[in-house]
Amino acid sequence: MLRAGGIHRGQQGLPPSELLAAHAWDVKGALRAGCAAAFVSRPGKVLEPLAPRPDVVGADLEAVAARLIALEQ
């Protein structure tokens, strides 16, 4: 299940959730907190080159959602 707020869950001692983010710093933070992360690549938005690569990257929300669903099956 896709949920926002995975970082808070991790801070509370609960298992981390997945986080879907469109900003590189959100992805970086989610991955460092132990969450799975996806990045929607939009014009002018790029991943940080030194940060870990998110679990899913796609050109638009539909592509990212399809990949996330495939990962859960």
Could you report the per-residue pLDDT of 4-59, keeping only the tens digit for each?
444 444 555 555 555 555 678 888 888 888 888 888 888 888 888 888 899 899 99
pLDDT at 1: 39
pLDDT at 64: 87
Is 40 within 8 Å of 64 (Cβ atoms)? yes
Closest CA to 37 of 12, 3, 9: 3
In the structure, what pLDDT confidence band is assigned to residue 2 with cuts at 50, 70 and 90?
Answer: very low
Contacts for 36-39 with beta carbons within 8 Å, 24 or more apart?
38/64, 38/67, 38/68, 39/64
Residue type, 64: V
